[in-house]
Each structure stands twice: as structure tokens, then as C-alpha cells.
Structure 1
Amino acid sequence: MLKLLIPVDDSPSSLRLAEHLYARLAWYKPPVEVHLLTVRPALHGDVGMFIDSEQIRQFHQEEGLKVLAPIRERLDADSIPYQIHIGVGDPAEVIVQYAREKDCDEIVMGASGRSPFAAFFTGSVPARVLHIADLPVSLIK
């Protein structure tokens, strides 16, 4: 069984992933296991002093579900089964970690998630995933 990890954020390229994924799934003989992942940034500083860990976990869960909603709606409309995952931390590291944990065959992700200006200063998540992943990575424009 082919296992695909689909990292999703709220960028336009991530939103186009649903269309690409739908077309691509027709190429493969079923079943294909689809894992949707969004990675939330860790809350910084002293937030833990004011909010308990369960509230922080719930916040990440709610925000992650909002990000995943558009692609889930598209996949649900076409009755394409998937599993959802919400990670917290450095996006590139979490993406590669999930791909390893789920024994995925490929990572399929948007080519860019942030503005070129932001990527210049902080680095591109897709570029970092390409660099550290030990499995195929497809980038979708």
C-alpha cells in the first residue's frame, strides 16, 4: 500500500494540493493511505505559566483543524479516506519525523508556504524538508 504524507498550511500552494492530490490518486492502484499533517508553532516564553498544558494542546488542535478544513472538505466530497495529524514544533523537522513514524513512501507538499521575503530570512520549509528527508518529496506549485 502506498502511503503519502501531505503537509498542509494555510498558504495558496497548500490549498492547491487537494486538486493535485485528487488527480494523482487516480494514477495509483487503490488503496492509497493519505496522511494530512499540519504543524503548529510552539507557543513561546512564559505562556505555560498562565495557561495549562491541556488548554495549549486544545488550542493547537483547534488551530490545526482550521488549517486542515479546506483540504478535508475536498477529500470528503470525493470520499477519499485520510488520517489527520497535528504536530507542534519546527515544521520541517516535524514533517520528516511524521513521514518516518508513519512509514510513508512519499511527502507531497506545496512548493512554498510563505512570502519570498520571509523565506529569505528564515528559510523555506519545503527546501529544508528536501534537505533532511530520506524519502521522495514532491513539491506542487
Structure 2
Amino acid sequence: MRNILVPVDGSDSSVRAVKAAIQAMKELGDTKLHIITVHPPIVSGNVKRFFSAEAINDYYQDEGRNALLPAKTVLDEAGISYEDSVQVGPVAPTIAKYAKDHGCDLIIMGTRGLGSVTGMVLGSIATKVLSLVDIPVTLVK
């Protein structure tokens, strides 16, 4: 069984990546789909001083569920089973760690072009993920 990881952030680009993953699953056959969203940790001491760890974790989970919702809607409508997860940490390294820990064979992720040369420059997260993993990464515009 192959494992496909699709990191999502709620953007149109990540929804397109989910649709590409659905197509890849049809072509590859026996696959398991993982969708994750990664929230960067809050590093401000002031926030941690005024809010409990539980309140901060609830915030991460709420934001994560919101980011996962568009992808989950597409997958549910397509009748695709998946495993979803909200992760907290530096985004690209957390994606790479999740892929390694879960034996993912492929990452499919969206990217957005920057500046006036849209489509010519990869997003910084996609670029970092490419440099951190040793499995194929498919970028979806």
C-alpha cells in the first residue's frame, strides 16, 4: 500500500492538490491518503503569559479544523477515505517529519507563485519541503 501526504492550508491551491491526489489514487491503486495542516507555534512569551496551554492548543485545533475543512469536503464528496491531522511546529520540517513517520511515498502539495512572475517561483514552504524529503513531491499550481 502506498501512502500519499497532502499538506493543506485551506487555500484554493491546496484544494487543487487534494483533487490531484484523488486522481493519483485512482492511477496508483492501493493507496492511503493523509491530509494534514501545520500551524506554526506561537512563540511570543506574552501570549503564553495570558493564555493557558490548553487555550492555545484549542486555538491550534480550531484553526487546523478550519484549514482542513475545504479538503475534507472535496474528499467526502468524492467518497475517498483519509486520515487527517492538525500538527503544530515549523511548517516545512513538520511536513517532512510527518511524511517520514507515516511512511509516505509521495507528497502532493499546492504552491502559489510570488510577485509578477506567478508560477515561475515556488512558495517558500514548498521549496523547503523539497529540500527536506527524499521522496517525490508533486507541486500543484
Q: TM-score, normalised by structure 2?
A: 0.87
Q: State the superposition RMSD in angstroms.
A: 1.5
Is 2:121 the partner of 1:125? no
Residue of structure 1 equivalent to 2:98: 98
Structure 2: distance between partners of 1:10 and 1:76: 15
Deviation at 1:44, TM superposition (A): 2.6
Structure 2: distance between partners of 1:19 and 1:102: 21
**What is the one-letter code of the residue matched to 1:116?**
L
Structure 2: distance between partners of 1:103 and 1:67: 23
Structure 1: 5+ residue runs without aligned partners? 118-122
Alignment of 1:104-123 (within 5 A): 104-112=104-112, 116=114
Q: Which whole-Å deviations, capped at 9, do the CAs of 1:112-134 have from their partners, x for residues lacking one?
A: 3xx625xxxxx710011101112
Q: Which whole-Å deviations, capped at 9, do the CAs of 1:69-91 have from their partners, x for residues lacking one?
A: 01101111122110111111211
Alignment of 1:6-85 (within 5 A): 6-30=6-30, 32-46=31-45, 47-85=47-85
Structure 2: distance between partners of 1:35 and 1:18: 10
Structure 2: distance between partners of 1:44 and 1:108: 29
Structure 2: 5+ residue runs without aligned partners? 116-122
